[in-house]
């Protein structure tokens, strides 16, 4: 059982690496292969506990006559107490890997996991000297992987453009030398590892991005240029090799990475900080968000909420490219619910590409903002006041209010509606698309806000429901993202 534990230590460590050829040889993306790391790690712990139980039942003298009070000796090859210490570290690792800790405090989990794994394996070697034959190669692979990742991330990268959408959403366009790496292609919905650094020229003693303190790390924390964050690529330009990402600040901690980035972005937007002052480091791409045999599907439905739209935006962009090459002929339904108009308007670049009538974009605004500014209206002029004019049918109308007010100054084409030029009479929801185009391209919500019209998309107040997705007689094979 002890031999099985040692071999499982080797496998669990190797399967946690990204760039060592473990997954490349198998053709498995790291994000899917990491489950093997979890499975092997659990098997390793099970074998360790069985080993302990067998030792307690059978005694320690059956192997070399070991006693608990024997003096520690690496020459002997086996020592009892280091095994107890190793089992303690591995048990602590198990507790710290539980979802209630891992998902809530990821940074602490990550570095605690590494430190506990390292200490557990060191004491395993003290416990049984021959285990070094398996543990040393495993950690050699792990450190090679770390070196390769850092080497790739240190290649020249810079921010080509930075835009702020409101105060809490930053759009970055990044260019990196050699992206994507040969043999590591970019897939729609992929993510990169992003680290930022820099100082405000007027405040050299105040870094834009502070160091991060972690368990087992340096006393002053890990520098921001070494602290990488996973960021989904919303758009990738195949010709220019430029990466577009969106980072949203949740407003919970002003020292948190996204809050710091949005604060720096606001300084750039106001002219107080040159964009070149922000240094950029990029690793990746990683991830392969895809559906097998996509060409056989009749319909693909993309569902997302809030800033979680970024991977779906990447997938939609990839599908648009496939349609342009006539490699996918099915229908695409894009359903997105967002509480932020800034968020919605930030993705108009994507919806403008959806010229094909088989691509249906339905946006549901669920926020309570009081309106959009003149600056926003000038920056994002209304492009399609009526869904039919944009080539996209409305879907998900069952989730809208029972009535929608006719905007002031708009006549209804429904017989008997009686809505005059200055009326605000409610029109039945079933007839919302029979209304005349709404000048100047705005749909009025009776209780919340004024919604902008967006090219090739339908934007509506309220939530969507799955039973609102229209039936299609030809859609027999459907893929969901």
> What is the model's pLDDT at position 468?
53
Domain with 229 in it: 157-286
Give the rounded distance of the alpha carbon of 348 from its chain centre: 20
Q: Are residues 82 and 40 in the same domain?
A: yes
Mean predicted confidence (pLDDT) in 245-273? 86
Structure tokens at 252: 């919970």
> What is the model's pLDDT at position 356?
85
pLDDT exceeds cutoff 70 at 361: yes
The residue behind tokens 């495993």 is 138
Find the length of the chain.
481
Q: Among 262, 286, 310, give the residue marking a domain's end.
A: 286
Q: Are residues 303 and 207 in the same domain?
A: no
The residue behind tokens 């993202």 is 481
Cα separation, 442 vs 374, in Å, equals 13
Q: Are residues 165 and 304 in the same domain?
A: no
Cα separation, 50 vs 58, in Å, equals 12
User: Pseudo-torsion of CA 95, 96, 99, 105, nearest 10°?
Assistant: 150
Closest listed residue to residue 448, CA positions, set 385, 391, 376, 364: 364
pLDDT exceeds cutoff 50 at 323: yes
Helices (H), 175-256: none
426 or 30, greater pLDDT: 30
pLDDT digits (tens, 9 = 90+) for 135-182: 999 889 888 888 888 887 888 889 999 999 988 899 999 999 888 877
> What is the model's pLDDT at position 159?
92
pLDDT digits (tens, 9 = 90+) for 110-144: 888 988 999 999 999 998 888 889 999 988 988 88
pLDDT-derived band at 20, boundaries 50, 70, 90 = low
> What is the model's pLDDT at position 80?
82
CATH of the domain at 195: 2.40.30.10
Other beta carbons within 10 angstroms of residue 368's beta carbon come to 9
165 or 107, greater pLDDT: 165
Q: Among 149, 176, 207, give the residue marking a domain's end.
A: 149
Closest listed residue to residue 350, CA positions, set 481, 479, 246: 246
In this structure, the strands spanning 458-461 and 359-365 are parallel
> What is the model's pLDDT at position 466?
54
Cα separation, 53 vs 55, in Å, equals 5
Q: Are residues 216 and 240 in the same domain?
A: yes
Cα separation, 187 vs 314, in Å, equals 9
Cα separation, 28 vs 26, in Å, equals 5
Q: Are residues 197 and 233 in the same domain?
A: yes
Least confident of 9-23, 270-284, 386-400, 453-467: 386-400
The residue behind tokens 């020229």 is 201
Q: Among 93, 124, 149, give the residue marking a domain's end.
A: 149
Cα separation, 262 vs 168, in Å, equals 6
**Which pTM does this prediction carry?**
0.71
Structure letter (DSSP) for residue 468: G
pLDDT digits (tens, 9 = 90+) for 47-69: 888 888 887 776 655 556 666 66
Q: Are residues 88 and 177 in the same domain?
A: no
Number of domains in the chain: 3
Structure letter (DSSP) for residue 470: P
Q: Are residues 139 and 65 in the same domain?
A: yes
Q: What is the CA radius of gyration of the chain?
A: 28
> What is the model's pLDDT at position 375?
47
- What whole-number percentage of the chain has pLDDT above 70? 73
> What is the model's pLDDT at position 433?
31
Q: Are residues 304 and 440 in the same domain?
A: yes
Q: Are residues 420 and 385 in the same domain?
A: yes
> What is the model's pLDDT at position 313?
92
pLDDT-derived band at 480, boundaries 50, 70, 90 = low
Peptide bond into 180 cis (omega under 30): yes
The residue behind tokens 């990839």 is 318
Mean predicted lDDT score pLDDT of the chain: 75
Q: Are residues 164 and 129 in the same domain?
A: no
Q: Are residues 365 and 399 in the same domain?
A: yes
pLDDT digits (tens, 9 = 90+) for 368-403: 754 444 444 444 443 333 333 333 333 222 223 322
- Is 344:337 a contact under the CB 8 Å cutoff? no
pLDDT digits (tens, 9 = 90+) for 211-258: 888 777 788 888 888 888 889 999 998 888 899 999 998 766 677 888
Q: Are residues 163 and 63 in the same domain?
A: no
> What is the model's pLDDT at position 189?
87
> What is the model's pLDDT at position 471?
59
CA distance readout (Å), 449 to 340, 367, 440, 452, 455: 11, 9, 15, 10, 19
> What is the model's pLDDT at position 481?
54
pLDDT exceeds cutoff 80 at 84: yes
């Amino acid at each position: 059982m002890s031999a099985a534990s040692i071999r499982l230590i080797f496998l669990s460590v190797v399967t946690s690496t990204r760039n060592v050829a473990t997954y490349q040889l198998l053709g498995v993306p790291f994000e899917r292969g990491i489950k093997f790391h979890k499975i092997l790690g659990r098997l390793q712990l099970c074998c360790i506990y069985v080993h302990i139980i067998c030792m307690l039942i059978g005694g320690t003298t059956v192997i070399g006559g070991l006693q608990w009070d024997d003096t520690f000796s690496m020459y002997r090859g086996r020592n009892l107490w280091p095994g107890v210490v190793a089992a303690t570290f591995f048990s602590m690792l198990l507790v710290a890997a539980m979802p209630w800790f891992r998902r809530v405090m990821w940074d602490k989990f990550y570095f605690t996991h590494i430190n506990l794994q390292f200490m557990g394996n060191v004491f395993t070697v003290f416990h049984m000297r021959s285990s070094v034959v398996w543990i040393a190669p495993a950690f050699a692979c792990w450190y090679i992987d770390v070196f390769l990742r850092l080497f790739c991330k240190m290649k020249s990268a810079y921010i080509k453009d930075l835009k702020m959408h409101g105060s809490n959403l930053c759009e970055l366009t990044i260019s990196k030398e050699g992206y994507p790496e040969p043999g590591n292609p970019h897939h729609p919905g992929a993510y990169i590892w992003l680290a930022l650094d820099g100082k405000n020229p007027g405040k050299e003693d105040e870094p834009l991005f502070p160091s991060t303190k972690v368990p087992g790390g340096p006393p002053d924390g890990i520098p921001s240029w070494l602290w990488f964050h996973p960021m989904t690529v919303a758009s990738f330009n195949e010709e220019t090799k430029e990466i577009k990402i969106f980072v949203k600040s949740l407003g919970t901690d002003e020292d948190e990475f996204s809050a710091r980035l949005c604060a720096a972005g606001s300084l750039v937007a106001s002219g107080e900080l040159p964009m070149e002052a922000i240094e950029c480091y990029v690793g990746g791409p990683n991830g392969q968000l895809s559906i097998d045999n996509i060409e056989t599907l009749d319909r693909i439905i993309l569902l997302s909420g809030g800033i979680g739209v970024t991977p779906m935006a990447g997938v939609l962009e990839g599908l648009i490219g496939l349609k342009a090459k006539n490699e996918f002929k099915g229908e695409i339904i894009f359903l997105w619910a967002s509480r932020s108009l800034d968020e919605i308007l930030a993705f108009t670049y994507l919806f403008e590409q959806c010229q094909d009538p088989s691509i249906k974009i339905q946006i549901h605004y669920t926020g309570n903002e009081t309106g959009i500014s003149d600056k926003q209206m000038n920056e994002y002029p209304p492009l399609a006041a009526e869904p039919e004019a944009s080539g996209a049918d409305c879907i998900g109308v069952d989730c809208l209010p029972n009535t929608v007010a006719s905007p002031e100054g708009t006549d209804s084409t429904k017989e008997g509606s009686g809505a005059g030029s200055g009326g605000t009479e409610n029109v039945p929801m079933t007839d919302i698309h029979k209304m005349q185009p709404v000048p100047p391209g705005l749909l009025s919500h009776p209780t919340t806000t004024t919604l902008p019209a967006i090219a090739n998309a339908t934007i509506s107040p309220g939530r969507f429901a799955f039973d609102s997705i229209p039936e299609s007689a030809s859609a027999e094979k459907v893929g969901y993202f």
